[in-house]
Amino acid sequence: MYYIMLTARISSVFKKITYAALRSGRNPEEIKLIAVTKSQPIDKIIESVDLGLRVFGENKVQEAKQKIEKLNEFNFNIKWHMIGHLQSNKVKEAVRLFEIIHSVDSDKLAILIDKEASKIKKIQRALIQVKLSEEETKYGINEDAVEEILELSKKLKYLQIEGLMTIPPYFVTPEDTRPYFRKLRQIKEELSQKGYPLQELSMGMSNDFEVAIEEGSTMVRIGTAIFGPRIN
Ligand SMILES: *Cc1c(COP(=O)(O)O)cnc(C)c1O
């Protein structure tokens, strides 16, 4: 029964991604789906791999590590993204587990990631998490501090910043998130014009990913719309 629901949800999400891209004049292939598996059990993740999903997001290093180790036994060709706040004492583990870290939110963290990545000679791909509202989101840096991290990261050989990420406040009406997504794209475009090589915009979750795609998202992070409610 779950498998059938999962099939329907995944195809519905892909359809919505495709239509949102097409109605805003974009190529649907520019948008990567990151299936957010936090609080979801291993067997559901395996079923979703069977149904074609290949990129997964987790927000806690410890939980991710357990899942990744289990799934490694199957030799699936899958990738993991770190989408939650990264604590200093988890950086070493994180650079071993994740293809992309979406949540660089301080100079200190950037330096630490570079240091740990250098030890294993890995170029760690990452995004800067930007905080665009005062109230709701706890993590992320203010807009005016983004360039400082980009400037610093020029000197960090093993940290490769590829774009920006944001988590807007939750709104019942998805349309209300549009100004936040538009703002993140503007910040990215301004910095690109200054010569920083930013390609990715990680924005959009279950409730608002279509709006995010219309505003230029290249990575949507979707949990409940694929797996159903999280069990805690
Ligand atoms: C949980 C989470 C998501 C997915 O949220 P859904 O509303 O379930 O799609 C996306 N991004 C981050 C950073 C998250 O923590």
Give pLDDT tens digits along the chain (232 positions).
788 899 999 999 999 999 999 999 999 999 999 999 999 999 999 999 999 999 999 999 999 999 999 999 999 999 999 999 999 999 999 999 999 999 999 999 999 999 999 999 999 999 999 999 876 667 899 999 999 999 999 999 999 999 999 999 989 999 999 999 999 999 999 999 999 999 999 999 999 999 999 999 999 999 999 999 987 6
- 196: phi then psi, degrees, rounded to nearest 5: -80, 130
User: What does the pLDDT read at residue 3?
Assistant: 82
d(CA 31, CA 204): 11
Q: In this structure, what token pair is assigned to residue 177? A: 């998130």
d(CA 51, CA 53): 6
Helix residue ranges, H only, the chain: 2-23, 42-50, 61-72, 91-97, 107-119, 146-153, 178-193, 209-214, 224-227
With a 6 A CB cut-off, is 38 part of the ligand 1 pocket? yes
- Compute, in angstroms, the gap from residue 30 CA to the centroid of ligand 1: 20
Rounded to a whole number of angstroms, the CA Rg of the chain reads 17
With a 6 A CB cut-off, is 204 part of the ligand 1 pocket? no
Signed CA dihedral, 65, 112, 77, 21: sign only: positive
With a 6 A CB cut-off, is 165 part of the ligand 1 pocket? no
- Compute, in angstroms, the gap from residue 109 CA to the centroid of ligand 1: 22
- Compute, in angstroms, the gap from residue 230 CA to the centroid of ligand 1: 10
With a 6 A CB cut-off, is 39 part of the ligand 1 pocket? no
Nearest atom in ligand 1 to the alpha carbon of residue 84 is: 13
Nearest atom in ligand 1 to the alpha carbon of residue 36 is: 4
Note the pTM of the prediction, 2 decimals.
0.97
- Nearest residue CA, atom 7 of ligand 1? 206
User: What does the pLDDT read at residue 232?
Assistant: 63
Written as one letter, the residue type at 131 is K
Strand partners, 161: 126
User: What does the pLDDT read at residue 188?
Assistant: 98
Q: Tell me the CATH architecture of domain 2-227.
A: Alpha-Beta Barrel (3.20)
User: What does the pLDDT read at residue 231?
Assistant: 75
- Compute, in angstroms, the gap from residue 222 CA to the centroid of ligand 1: 6
Q: Where do we find the tokens 């997964």?
A: 56
